[in-house]
Amino acid sequence: MESLNGTPGPCAKTWLNHAKTLRLHTGNLVNRSRLKKRCPSSPSEELKQCIQATLSDWVSTKQPPSNEDLPDTLDCSIPQPTDAITPEEREELKVSAKLFLCESGESSIRDAVEMALQTLAVSQLDSVILAPPLLTDGDHQTLAHFQPAWEELEALVRNQQIAAIGTSDLDKDLLEQLYNWAQVKPSSNQVNLASCCVMPPDLTAFAKEFDIQLLTHNDPKELMSAATFQEVLQEGAQELNGAEWRLEWVLRYSIIVKSRGIINAKGYLVSARKAKP
């Protein structure tokens, strides 16, 4: 692989091995012809295809800089002119996101939202739905689990970086606890109809009383396991040792034209960090 000036530069393997953080943007999936050839069977399969395709494209086209220090944070993205939203069209668009936390950490929420704002060239996301990390050993989500992450989301609302915040897969009792405790109330709650064919009546009644929108989704409890992510890295960039990396968060965004209700853009932002030896 050559550098921009045509002289030999660091190979992809050197760049990847040096980095401590990977930031990946799939680009607008609505426009990616490669992914249109195969319809993913699930959100997890879609994400897997996206990461593999983006890494493969990046490895084949990225030109490492010469005579510079290798970056600790590696931006594995294929820039597309359609990613950014112009100020003229912003009022006509609704920018929504769902943030899947793969490990606890309030800094992950800030990083994900700031990366989305920068990538899409907007100052505010219209809504963000939080999907907290999957608990181990059969533990169930409690208000204590939610509070640190929700406080971080509330701070981003106060900073006007997010307009509305919501939750995913909370039952009526936990949603009520969160609503009563929170300073910024949840505006929505997603329900996976694969686990319940109809909306629970108590949840429906509570949401109606406090003006919380109930949405449906088909995301699995764990969007991507650690082992699958490492496998995907290895397949997408053969020069990368996938076992060294852990997935921090995944943010899926969608941009909808308000007047027509159609999806103008959709994509994933992904962050991973190299595990400490």
Higher-confidence residue of 27 and 7: namely 27
Which amino acid would we find at residue 2?
A: E
pLDDT tens profile 220-234: 888 998 889 988 887
String of DSSP letters for 132-151: PPPPSTT----HHHHHHHHH
State the residue for tokens 């990390």.
133
5 within some domain: no
222 within some domain: yes
3 within some domain: no
Please compute the mean of the pLDDT values over residues 18-40 and round it to a whole number.
Answer: 75
270 within some domain: yes
C-alpha separations of 210 from 113, 164, 170, 182, 205 in Å: 27, 15, 15, 13, 9
Give the integer Cα–Cα distance in Å for 34 and 62.
18
The number of domains in the chain is 1
35 within some domain: yes
Higher-confidence residue of 36 and 47: namely 47
Q: Is residue 129 pLDDT above 60, yes or no?
A: yes
Higher-confidence residue of 211 and 35: namely 211
109 within some domain: yes
Q: Is 201 helix (H, G, I), strand (E, B) or coil?
A: helix
Q: Is residue 68 pLDDT above 90, yes or no?
A: no
pLDDT tens profile 109-119: 999 999 999 99
Residues 174, 143 contacting (CB under 8 angstroms): yes
Higher-confidence residue of 32 and 181: namely 181
In 52-199, the DSSP E strands lie at 73-77, 93-101, 125-131, 162-168, 188-192
153 within some domain: yes
Q: Tell me the whole-structure pTM to 2 decimals.
A: 0.88
Which phi and psi (to 5°) does residue 193 adopt?
-75, -5
Q: Supply the range of the domain harboring residue 118.
A: 12-274
The maximal CA–CA distance of the chain, rounded, in angstroms, is 67
2 within some domain: no
Say what the pLDDT of residue 137 is: 66
Q: Is residue 1 pLDDT above 60, yes or no?
A: no
